Structure formats: structure tokens, C-alpha cells
A and B are shown apart, each in its own frame.
Chain A
């Protein structure tokens, strides 16, 4: 069976990364921004797994790293959601442009 070439997987992960980055910079809803960061993290995960598989198939570090990232991302999401809920209670909105009181 012919393998999928590495470049395809990298193109996928890059697409995922830039999608996430676009969402992070352009969206105004905090939940969507949070989701965009998840996309970025997942693109990184794909990279890790792909490189592990294609470059060092006899080792498992890349896979483990991916597992770690998933765990940390889960924890981070719960924390972020807590922050967003608190933000909502204070501002009655989760629009990122309206919550700019932390400044000079």
C-alpha cells in the first residue's frame, strides 16, 4: 500500500494552523477565539504525530507529546471557560472588543 506522503499531512496541519490563527485574530466572540486556539494546538499535534511516524518510526516521543498537549489543552479550556463566565458576569458580554479595561 502506498503511503500518504509527509507533505500532504504538513499541508493539512498548516491549513489548520492558519485557520486557527485567522480565527484568533479576527473573531470577536471569546468562545470562538478559544476554539481557534484549539485548532492551533491540534495542528501542532498532527505535526508531532506525522514527524514521529515518518522520521523516527521506532520511537514514541512525538505521540506522547501529543497526549500531553491534549491533556493540557483540556485543562486550559476548563480554565478559560471559567474566566469567560466570570467576564460575562462582569460585563454582560463576551465580545473581546468590549472587555478592554486592563490597560494603561
Chain B
């Protein structure tokens, strides 16, 4: 394996070097220089990632026709005892190679886009430093083979997300959103940490490959001990895996931990494209996929929970997306819905050859989604840049002034809706087919979501590009912004033709995803209905949307207010936590703890006042006390001898 160790090491170290350089000496660079440096580093990283991924898939990854995990770098990081240590390093599996391509490519395009989009902003050095930090930590996360290393980089990813959401730190909304994102995901990570510890204890190792081999072998003593005891109907192993999934649900914005993602749109738009659409938010999907054999073989109950929760989230987010009035908020809810789609596919997948279709489908959708969702966000960035507002009501009629954006947006929207021959079609069909074979009920939910997806995507498409009289003035996209859009659009169109099943499957064996005309009939017609409804509502301004909203009555209001989830959380935080528990604890603190200490002080003070009279200054009184003492001792002595 010529030099691949070096390449993968460089993939990780180049963005880290960029982060260190830019954060230490960022002010010495001109804003332009910082952008160019960061982009060049990412060009190298992306090239190396492609080389490594190509090498893995076509040169050294396969052994006897099966893709094997391939460990390139391995060093001991924290040796605790002779048997327990935490290793760090780099490993490659098919999904890791795929994630490398996604992360480095999208990150490169976002860097390039940012040099145009962020022109004239303050603190560009820090901005690019944060982007580099994010890229470094995300790459470290996916390439880890130790679950503790994953956790470590997981938190780094969270921090860089926090920093970038709060980049406009003068806006109170951005600060609030950054805090919300950090706290919600931290809360989820608590579950993740407990899950890791349970899993590590149960398997006797933190090494993912070892965990998988020990917990999937039916004869292994670890597995027997782990599934022996149960709590509330689930075995300990299932609970451990559900807790790990809780961490993933936090990052991937699965109900009920989805509340941070829409708010995270306060960050700069390229950041939303990179972190909150294409890469970081799929970390949860990646995590479940990485541990998939354990889920599928030893704890199918956990997968069942994931499937149901994800199906609900997908529909729920899609309904909210239809009612939102801000461009990026719609895209954010769309992201939540699509990620839930991927997790749904993982949830319905099983281990055996046919049943594992969902796994491949999920990874496929992750791959294609990264392209079209990043494209959509970058389009949104261009639009917001031109309109100077994120509200849909301020947009409209932009089809002629932004031709490149228009076409990119249209293709991406068609792709996400599942229009045939675009990438989203293939991955979505695969997910729906996998769902149909295992969970027909969830298939209905997924189908409904698919129709809604087409509706809300075309709702914003028409609201942005039609709905008003087209303006003719050309608002030129700068090339740094146009080029990423074009590249992503090419990806959106052609990514579906990659023989994905050959490369990525649950057990490493090549597998063929089949899309039949018959099974795609229903989803495509659902999408068509969605698109046509959107066209009739929004292509030309009319009062049908308001009429329709009125006819839905309370439900529309309910969805418009995001089903009041935020309100419930706020109520919980303010009334229950702040006033309820906070009040109780403050009462205990002031009245019981402080009271005890004050009482002790008061007591000793008044006792001193009481006895200070004894110090009278009269020598003869002292002498009396002395005499008394001597007499007392004498009496005691005498008593002893009697």
C-alpha cells in the first residue's frame, strides 16, 4: 500500500495546520490571503481524499471480493492498564472512503464559495480558521476506529459548529442559536458518552472493529453477558446502542432533539451548507452505520426504535417545512426530514443480503443528499446575497437575473423531490424499496414525506424565482460562487449513476441496487402531485395558499408554530427547571445550608457573650477558680484511692 498512510495522515494534518496557522497569525493575512491559503489547503486535502478513496475502492480495499476495514495508522494515545488503552489512528472502510470524498469536496467548494460570499466581512481569518477546524475534526471523526476518538472529534465538531453559528456574534439571535445548538447537542452527547461507556464495558474494548466482532458473534461470552440482563423490556446492549443513537440523534436533529438545527441558520450561509446540511448533521447517520453490524445482528429492537422515530421526524419536519416563511428555515427543516429519511433506511435494514438494502440505500442517500442540499444552500446564499433578506416574501421573479442559480436550484429541487434520472431519484427509490419490503406502514409515511418534499421544495422554488414579474437586471454571481454551484449541480445530476451498491454495502460484499419502473411509479407520481400543487399555488400570485391554509384551520397554525415544540421546551426550561427545581434548590441553599451555618455562628456568639463575664479582671476570682480546680482534682484523686 504505497504511501497511503502518509496520504491519510496528511488529509488530517493539512486542515489542522491551516487552523493553527490562521488562528495564530490570522490578523497578519489579508482577508483575501486567508481565503486563498485555506482554499489551497483544502484543494490538497480533497485531492488526497479522492486518491485515497480511489485506492481503497479499486486497489487495496478488497480482500477475496469483500471490502475489509483497513487500518492505516494506529498509535497508543492513553494507556491506562496493560489491557485497557485508548488508541488513536486512521482506518478505512467503504463508508469512510465515501465520507472522505463528501466532506473534503463539499468543504473545498464551501471554502471557495466563502471567498466570494464573505467578501468584506470582518474577522475573515477566524472564519476560515473555524472552517479548517471543522474540516479537520469531521475528517478525524469519520476516520476513527476507536469509539473514544469518535467522541473526541464529535465534540470538536460541536465546538466548531458553535463557533460558526455564532460567527456574527453581534446579533443576539446568532448568539442564542449558537448556545442552543451547543446545549442541545451536549445534552444528547451525555447519552452518547453513557452509551460508549456501556458499550466499552460490555465489549471489553473501545475499538470499533473489536466491538463489532465481539458483539455479533453468537457464541461470544461478551454478547451473552451483555444481553443477559434487561431493563424495561430491552436488553442492556439495546439500551447502550439506543444511548449511542441518542448522541447521533442530537447531531442529526432527530425529533425531539431537532430544535437547534433551524435556529442554526443564523450562521453564515456557506456554513449552513457545509455543516448543517452536508456533513456534520449526517454524523449521527454515520455513527449508526459504523456500528451497524451490532445494531442489525444483536439489537434489532434498537433499529426498530430508530426506524419509527425517524419516520415520524421525516414527516413532521416536512409538514413544518411547508409552512415556514424563511428560505433557510425551509431548507433546514428539509434537511431534518432528509436525514431522518437516511436513518429510516438504516432502521428498516437487516443484516442478511437482501434485507441490508436499506444500509446501502441510506449511505447512497447521504452521498447524493450532500450534493443537492449543499447546492440548495449555496443557491440560497446567492439569493440572500442579492435580495439582502432571508424572507421569502422579499423574493420573487429572480429567474432571469440569476440564471446559473436558477438552473442549479431547479435541478437540485428536482433531485431532492425524486425526479427520475437525477441522483436523488436513485437513492430515494432505494430507500422506499427497502422500506416497502420490511415495513409497509413506514413506507406510507415515507411516501407521504416524499410528496411533501416535492411540494415544499417547489413552493420555495416558485416563490423565489416566479411569483413576481421577472426583473431583467443581471445580478452577476462572482465566479467563486458560481463555480461551486456548477460543480455541485454536476454532482446532483450524475452522482446517481455511480454503481453505489458495488462499493458500499453492510457486509462489504458487492450488492446491486435495483430500481424497477413499477416500484418507482408511486413515489414519482407523489412527487409530481407535490410539484403541480406547488405550481398551482405559487407560480403566479393568487389566494389559493391562504384559502388552503384557512381550510386547514388550527392544524396550519400548529405546524406554522413548529408544533410548539420550542414553546414546550421553553416552558420546561423556565417554569419547571428554573422556577421549579431552581426555586427548590435556592430554598434549600438559603434556608437549610446557609441557615445551618448562620445558626452555628449565632450560637457560638451568644454562648461567648454568656460566658465572657467570667473574665472579670479580678485576680482573686481567678484564684478561686484555680483553687476550685485543684480541690476538684484532689477530691478525684482521693476517691480513686478509697
Chain A residues within CB distance 8 Å of chain B: 21, 24-25, 96-97, 100-104
Contact = CB atoms under 8 A, between A and B. Distances in A.
Contacts of B624: 25
A21 B626 CA distance: 12
B620 interface: yes
Contacts of B620: 24-25, 96
Interface string B603-628: 00000000011011111100110010
19 contacts: A21-B627, A24-B620, A24-B623, A25-B620, A25-B623, A25-B624, A25-B627, A96-B618, A96-B619, A96-B620, A97-B618, A100-B617, A100-B618, A101-B617, A102-B617, A103-B616, A103-B617, A104-B612, A104-B615
A64 B201 CA distance: 82
Interface in B622-638: 623-624, 627
A14 to B, nearest CB: 14
A100 B612 CA distance: 15
B620 to A, nearest CB: 6
B605 to A, nearest CB: 14
5 nearest CB pairs, A to B: A103-B617, A100-B617, A104-B612, A104-B615, A102-B617
B624 to A, nearest CB: 7
A104 B627 CA distance: 22
A33 to B, nearest CB: 8
Chain B, interface size category, equals 10 to 19
Contacts of B627: 21, 25
A76 B620 CA distance: 19
Interface string B470-507: 00000000000000000000000000000000000000
A101 B618 CA distance: 9
A97 B623 CA distance: 14
A25 B621 CA distance: 8
Q: Which secondary structure characterizes the binding site on chain B?
A: helix
A19 to B, nearest CB: 15
B625 to A, nearest CB: 12
Contacts of A25: 620, 623-624, 627
Contacts of A96: 618-620
Given A21-B627, A101-B617, 7 more contacts: A25-B623, A96-B618, A97-B618, A100-B617, A103-B616, A104-B612, A104-B615
Contacts, number: 22
B616 A100 contact: yes
Nearest to A27: B620
Contacts of B618: 96-97, 100
B614 to A, nearest CB: 9
A47 to B, nearest CB: 16
A103 B619 CA distance: 10
Among B612, B613, B615, B618, the most chain A Cβ lie within 10 Å of the Cβ of: B618
B45 to A, nearest CB: 80
A45 to B, nearest CB: 19
Among B619, B623, B624, the most chain A Cβ lie within 10 Å of the Cβ of: B619
B52 to A, nearest CB: 85
Contacts of B619: 96
A103 B618 CA distance: 8
Contacts of B615: 103-104
A104 B616 CA distance: 7
A60 B616 CA distance: 44
Contacts of B617: 100-103
Nearest to A102: B617
B272 to A, nearest CB: 74
Nearest to B614: A104
A25 to B, nearest CB: 6
Nearest to B619: A96
A90 to B, nearest CB: 14
A96 B620 CA distance: 8
Contacts of A104: 612-613, 615
B617 to A, nearest CB: 3
A12 B615 CA distance: 35
Contacts of A24: 620, 623
A3 B613 CA distance: 53
Nearest to A21: B627
Interface in B296-346: none
A79 B366 CA distance: 100
A1 to B, nearest CB: 36
B198 to A, nearest CB: 65
A77 B620 CA distance: 18
Nearest to B612: A104
A97 B619 CA distance: 9
A100 B613 CA distance: 13
A25 B612 CA distance: 22
A21 B627 CA distance: 10
A29 B106 CA distance: 104
A2 B524 CA distance: 143
Among A21, A96, A100, A104, the most chain B Cβ lie within 10 Å of the Cβ of: A104
Among A21, A96, A103, the most chain B Cβ lie within 10 Å of the Cβ of: A103
A97 B618 CA distance: 7
B414 to A, nearest CB: 94
Nearest to A24: B623
A43 to B, nearest CB: 15
